[in-house]
Amino acid sequence: MQESDLRELLARFPSVAQGHLPTRIEPMPRLGEKLGVDLHVKRDDQTGIALGGNKVRQLNYYLGAAQAEGADTILITGAVQSNFVRTTAAMANRLGMECHIQLEERVPDADEAYRENGNVLLDRLLGATLHHFPEGEDEAAADAALGELAEQLRSQGHKPFIVPLSANRPPKGALGYVEAALEFADQCRETAPFDEVFIGSGSALTHIGLLVGLRAIDDTTPVQGVCVRRDRDAQTARVTQRIDDLASLMEIENPVTPDDIRITDDTFAPGYGRMSPAVEGALSDAARLEGLILDPVYTAKVLAGLIHRAEQGDLTGKRVLFWHTGGQPALFAYAGKLTAK
């Protein structure tokens, strides 16, 4: 497919087109030298709305669909320290919509900082209405609870729109990263191609959008998904399904082969939202060598995965991109764990 054809295809989907885009690609020379890698970072932490992050690109399409349906209220569910819900509240405010957030219990032994600081503090500052859900690993039940809340709001005269969590809804948010693939391809033409891209793989929409977008324009750059939510086998199944769902949504033949789906869980343990020595090391290296701030839940795990591969010698001499998806507000929720060292 020609890039112009893909742009025309994306234009068929409603979008609110917010954010500071394109984001920069910057070198990481000091950490790269330590690892023996020509290392760069894609700064999607600088998308510009409520401290930025990858969810801005996804929400452009979800909120575009909400506007097209005449919605006045946005509903979303996520972890207590979810970056997605924080960004949703901010973007809903910009569009004059109310926002209801459902916070799920996903992280064990959460302390007061986790429950009150970071993204939760910003959710409240943004004026979102907060609700709580006791489970953290039941996406279908979380979406069902959100559906019940939507019915209550509908009975009160509101027009709610649900930003879905579970994998049984069309992955409209992934269109934001199909668009990002075009942006990335443009940037590579101005500089040089990359031998590999490392990106977080959780809900999988960022991962699959980038991968489908690149393969749709015959760009074969390897995309390494790093697990942040579930183990490799479970994530592989999810990514495979969601790629099919995205191709169906776009009404194109699936351009991704099984060999294109590269997923590692080498730095996932001990689980979602929980730190390890590798994650703490990645946080420290990024900050002290590059002045780059990461978060413990997503980006530090991704960089830790990259570092692990580099230490095995797999990336020596290669030109490698770390895709920074934001999430820094969550760092403040881990203050006790970080300062206790």
Hey, which residues are catalytic here?
Answer: 82
E strand segments, 229-318: 262-264
Nearest to 119 by CA among 130, 109, 108: 130
Q: What 8-state DSSP symbol labels residue 24?
A: P
Q: Within a 13 Å sphere around the CA of 148, how many CA atoms are in the beta-carbon half?
A: 8
Q: What are the C-alpha distances in Å from 40 to residues 226, 303, 320?
A: 17, 11, 6
Cα 191 from chain centroid? 25
Amino acid, single-letter form, for residue 193: P
Q: How far apart are CA 230 and CA 94, in angstroms?
A: 33
Please provide the distance, in angstroms rounded to a whole number, between the alpha carbons at the two ends of the chain: 52
Cα 317 from chain centroid? 28
Angle between helices 232-250 and 175-190 (to 10 degrees): 90
Asked if residue 81 lies in contact with residue 73, where contact means CB atoms within 8 angstroms, the answer is no
Q: What are the C-alpha distances in Å from 312 to residues 35, 36, 224, 235, 308?
A: 10, 11, 15, 23, 6
Amino acid, single-letter form, for residue 185: A
Asked if residue 88 lies in contact with residue 74, where contact means CB atoms within 8 angstroms, the answer is yes
Strands 25-27 and 38-43: antiparallel
Q: How far apart are CA 209 and CA 181, in angstroms?
A: 8
